[in-house]
Structure 1
Amino acid sequence: MDKEFSLTSRVSFKDIHYDGKVVAGAHVLELFGDAITGLALMNDNDEGLLSKWENVNFYQKVNPGDFLKVYARIVSSSRLKRNVEVNAWRVTGLKEYNGNNDLVADAKGTFVIPFVKAKGV
């Protein structure tokens, strides 16, 4: 079973939500959802259904023009549930920042898959 998925996205100026050209944290959560969907498709051939978020943390503001790399990783699973950790990092060009100062957000979540798509785990 593949257990990791990543995506990279450029934050658009149309994503500005707050004064001062700051992007809403909900945009990062949407990217987290996209990464989890990709992970579910890769592992279970189904988009799955996100059932909960927990421990959502925002460390830095996100601005238009930022490139974010989002990683989703299955940390545990049962027949119908997948527990995941996701995080978003700011990247510049082809060089990724590796220090904690560039971690934008992280969270834990759970998604479920339909019984008919479940693989034995």
Structure 2
Amino acid sequence: MSKAVHRRYVAFSDAHYAGNLVDGAFALKLFGDVGTNLSIEIDGHEGLFAGYSSVEFLAPVRGGDIVEAEATLVKKGNRSRTVDFELRVICRGSDDTGRSQVLESPLVAVRARGTAVIPADGTE
């Protein structure tokens, strides 16, 4: 099974809602980045994302957090790739003072499954 992992600090400027909450699109953008990484490693091409078959928002992501986005290849067709995504909070910001703590167990914030397609001739 192939996988790619990215880590990122969530800036307070990424938060748009009360309680320093970050919108769900933030996770989907990270999934796009880590999915592209996975496609390049597997196929030598960044691929084209066709869509999500499921997305679950399970826990909040906040400014000050450090998150880990993971893409795992589930199924490889001739040109299609089914990929599972998971976004985990691994450090939680305590407040806007810069204090933070490493979580004992990562908090799964978002899960998704999607399909990427590799062009037949390597072009778009």
Where in structure 2 are the equivalents of 1:33-112 lying within 5 Å? Answer: 33-92=32-91, 97-98=104-105, 102-112=107-117
Q: Hey, what does 1:28 align to over in structure 2?
A: 27
Counterparts of 1:55 and 1:97, CA distance in 2: 28
For the 8 Å contact 1:71–1:88, the answer to whether it is kept is: yes
For the 8 Å contact 2:90–2:105, the answer to whether it is kept is: no
Counterparts of 1:97 and 1:51, CA distance in 2: 36
Alpha-carbon offset, residue 21 of structure 1: 1.8
- Give TM-score scaled by structure 1 length: 0.86
**Secondary structure, in 3 states, of the residue corresponding to 1:108?**
strand
Alpha-carbon offset, residue 97 of structure 1: 4.7
Alpha-carbon offset, residue 96 of structure 1: 6.3
Runs of 4+ in structure 1 deviating by more than 3 angstroms, as ranges, are: 95-99
- Give TM-score scaled by structure 2 length: 0.84
Comparing both structures, which one devotes a greater share of its residues to strand? 2
Aligned residues: 114
RMSD: 2.0
Alpha-carbon offset, residue 77 of structure 1: 1.0
Aligned residue type for 1:91: I
Q: Hey, what does 1:10 align to over in structure 2?
A: 9
Superposed CA offset, 1:32-88 (max 9, x none): 111100000111111101101022001111111101111100100111000000001
Gaps of 5+ in 2: 92-99
Gaps of 5+ in 1: none
Alpha-carbon offset, residue 19 of structure 1: 3.0
> Percent of aligned pairs with the same residue?
31
